[in-house]
């Protein structure tokens, strides 16, 4: 049982499904809490960053998850999100691609799909926020400029943005699509008096920086 395993071996020994099962607490006549937890993870592609983006309406569609259990999971999701953000904000300033990479890596841990995550900075490179923008599949994700710029306008004092996405394959070479969306974002940011200062493609513990590679226009 997950609880007994945690007490015996510690939380790090548990799988993601087992940790979720503890939060779900009880199952149904036909499905255990662990079965329901596995269904939750299936709904987000076995991907923890995808899990962080689950909404109440999605959770309620999973059999065995009533309103109280769904709310419990949402609370856990938010705590996890705030914990990673608090860790990122300790850095205070992001002045290089390496700084950005170190801030972003905890957000890209244990994920198997492509994701887009943005860092929002003020004019002095102070880190204001880190926000998940979108979730994609194994080979692509949708980078929606409208979402990025809306968040930028909502976060007080935002002047600069660092875009990032991961390549689960580990290949960090920018594709033609990566270059096109970066150009689109850079041009759009200018209209809002904002600046895209970098776009990081993250692979297996390494990254490619558009700024360092002179790929920003």
* Residue 18, pLDDT above cutoff 80: yes
pLDDT tens, 21-80? Answer: 999 988 888 889 999 999 998 887 777 767 777 888 888 889 888 899 999 998 988 888
Q: What's the whole-number average pLDDT of the chain?
A: 87
pLDDT tens, 104-127? Answer: 988 887 677 788 999 999 999 999
For residue 110, the model assigns a pLDDT of: 66
* 201 close to 165: Cβ distance less than 8 angstroms: yes
Question: SS3 letters for 63-116?
Answer: CCCCHHHHHHHHHHHHHHHHHHHHHHHCCCECCCHHHHHHHHHHHHCCCCCCEE
217 vs 42, more confident: 42
87 vs 180, more confident: 180
From the number of C-beta atoms within 10 Å of its C-beta (0-12, 13-18, 19+), residue 197 rates as buried
* Residue 100, pLDDT above cutoff 90: yes
Comparing C-alpha atoms, which of 83, 103, 87 is closest to residue 95?
103
Q: Return the number of other C-beta atoms located less than 10 Å from residue 203's C-beta.
A: 16
pLDDT tens, 125-174? Answer: 999 999 888 876 544 456 788 999 999 999 999 999 999 999 888 889 99
pLDDT tens, 79-88? Answer: 887 777 777 7
pLDDT-based confidence at 215, cuts 50/70/90? very high
């Amino acid at each position: 049982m997950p609880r007994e395993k945690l007490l015996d071996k510690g939380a790090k020994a548990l799988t993601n499904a087992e940790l979720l099962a503890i939060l779900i607490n009880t199952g149904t006549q036909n499905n255990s809490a662990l079965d329901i937890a596995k269904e939750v993870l299936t709904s987000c592609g076995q991907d923890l960053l995808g899990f962080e983006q689950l909404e109440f309406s999605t959770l309620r569609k999973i059999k065995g998850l009533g309103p109280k259990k769904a709310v419990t999971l949402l609370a856990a999701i938010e705590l996890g999100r705030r914990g990673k953000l608090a860790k990122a904000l300790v850095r205070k300033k992001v002045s290089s691609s390496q700084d950005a990479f170190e801030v972003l890596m905890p957000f890209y841990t244990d994920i198997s799909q492509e994701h887009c995550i943005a860092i929002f900075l003020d004019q002095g490179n102070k880190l204001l926020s880190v926000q998940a923008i979108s979730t994609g599949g194994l080979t692509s994700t949708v980078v929606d400029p409208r979402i990025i710029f809306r968040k930028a306008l909502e976060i007080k004092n935002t002047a600069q943005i660092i875009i990032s996405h991961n390549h689960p394959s580990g290949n960090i070479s920018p594709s033609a699509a990566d270059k096109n969306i970066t150009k689109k974002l850079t041009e759009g940011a200018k209209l809002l008096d904002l600046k895209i200062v970098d776009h990081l493609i993250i692979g297996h513990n390494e990254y490619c920086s558009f700024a360092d590679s002179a790929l920003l226009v």
